[in-house]
């Protein structure tokens, strides 16, 4: 086994694009021990390494192999890059489509939100209108209540005045209790209160009707049942006059005397 034979087989394998190994060299040569082939292979590689270092360039066989390796590496890297670009492009397109869908949904939601805002504004305007109307109504009611309170205060003052006048009449300053008629079912004080309530109303220049006399100020509920009977007795005694329409009035001095004379004559006839 000589070095030249092993070196020739080494170069032939490189030209075929194969990596020279002991097994392939043994198959290429066809004979020789593995130990001799290993010794010559190590010597060839050592010499080739020294030649590369000394010359600063690659041997032709190594250059060819390196170029093939670089081409394969470039092709592989290109395929990997293309695959990555394809995947990246697909991912980008998918993401763009997702963003478009999300944007479309967002625009729909925005439109719906705008409609809701418009509806809320309309509702707010309606509420403001209702509030304004209610405030106006409340202001009107407050004015009416104030007017009603003023009227009530005036009526209370007037009733108080009538009550004071009635009390004065009852105390004997303006009315002689002996002139009042006796009425069954009513005390003299009750007759006096009813009579003075009617007189106080007439003194105010206000009309009094026999059907509504029970509602006069100063009369309590317990007098309502005897008002009609008392009024009839007062008319009969001449203290009050009743018009055909049912309105009551106070007689003048002349009328009082005529009524009084007629009453005394009637009493005398009854006694005779």
Please report, for the chain, the start and end positions of each structural domain, with discontinuous segments joined by +. 3-57, 175-271
All residues at 6 or more sequence positions from 184 whose CB lies less than 8 Å from its CB, including other chains: 229
Whole-number pLDDT of residue 85: 81
CA 32 to chain centre: 102
Q: For 31-35, 156-160, 229-233, 260-264, which range has the lowest pLDDT when averaged over its residues?
A: 260-264
With the C-alpha atoms ordered 228, 170, 256, 206, is the resulting torsion angle positive or negative?
Answer: negative
Whole-number pLDDT of residue 266: 52
- Over residues 112-134, the pLDDT tens digits come to 999 999 999 999 999 999 998 99
Q: Give me the architecture of the 175-271 domain, per CATH.
A: Orthogonal Bundle (1.10)
**Residue 87 — very low, low, confident or very high, per pLDDT cuts 50/70/90?**
confident
Q: What is the pTM of this model?
A: 0.33
Please report the DSSP string for 205-220 in residue order.
T--EETTTGGGSTT--
First to last CA, the chain: 197
**Tally of CB atoms within 10 A around 175:** 18
Residue showing tokens 């032939």: 12
Whether 160 shows a pLDDT value over 90: the answer reads no
Please say whether the beta carbons of 20 and 14 come within 8 A: yes
As a whole-number percent, the residues of the chain with pLDDT over 70 amount to 80
Whether 40 shows a pLDDT value over 80: the answer reads yes
Distant-in-sequence contacts of 58-62, Cβ < 8 A, 24+ apart: 61/11, 61/14, 61/15, 62/14
Whether 56 shows a pLDDT value over 60: the answer reads no
The tokens for 2 are 């000589």
Of 6, 5, 4, nearest to 38 by C-alpha is 6
Q: What CA–CA distance (Å, rounded) separates 177 from 192?
A: 7
Q: What CA–CA distance (Å, rounded) separates 170 from 49?
A: 153
Phi, psi of 192 (to 5 degrees): -65, -40
Whether 57 shows a pLDDT value over 70: the answer reads no
Phi, psi of 191 (to 5 degrees): -60, -40
């Amino acid at each position: 086994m000589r070095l030249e034979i092993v070196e020739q087989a080494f170069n032939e394998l490189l030209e075929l694009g194969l990596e020279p190994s002991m097994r392939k060299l043994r198959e290429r040569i066809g004979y020789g021990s593995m130990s001799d082939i290993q010794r010559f292979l190590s010597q060839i590689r050592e010499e080739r390494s020294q030649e590369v270092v000394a010359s600063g360039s690659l041997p032709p066989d190594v250059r060819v192999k390196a170029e093939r390796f670089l081409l394969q590496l470039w092709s592989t890297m290109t395929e990997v890059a293309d695959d990555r670009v394809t995947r990246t492009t697909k991912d980008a397109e998918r993401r763009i489509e997702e963003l478009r869908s999300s944007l479309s949904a967002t625009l729909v939601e925005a439109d719906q939100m705008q409609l809701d805002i418009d509806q809320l504004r309309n509702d707010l305007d309606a509420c403001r209108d209702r509030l304004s109307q209610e405030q106006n109504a409340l202001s009107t009611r407050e004015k009416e209540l104030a007017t009603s309170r003023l009227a009530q205060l005036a009526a209370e003052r007037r009733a108080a005045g009538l009550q004071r006048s009635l009390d004065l009449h009852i105390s004997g300053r303006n009315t002689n209790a002996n002139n009042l008629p006796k009425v069954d079912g009513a005390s003299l004080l009750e007759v006096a209160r009813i009579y003075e309530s009617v007189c106080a109303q007439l003194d105010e220049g206000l009309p009094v009707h026999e059907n509504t006399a029970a509602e006069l100020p100063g009369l309590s509920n317990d007098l309502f049942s005897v008002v009609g009977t008392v009024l009839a007795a007062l008319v009969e005694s001449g203290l009050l006059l009743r018009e055909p329409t049912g309105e009551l009035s106070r007689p003048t001095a002349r009328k009082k005397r005529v009524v009084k004379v007629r009453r005394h004559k009637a009493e005398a006839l009854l006694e005779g």
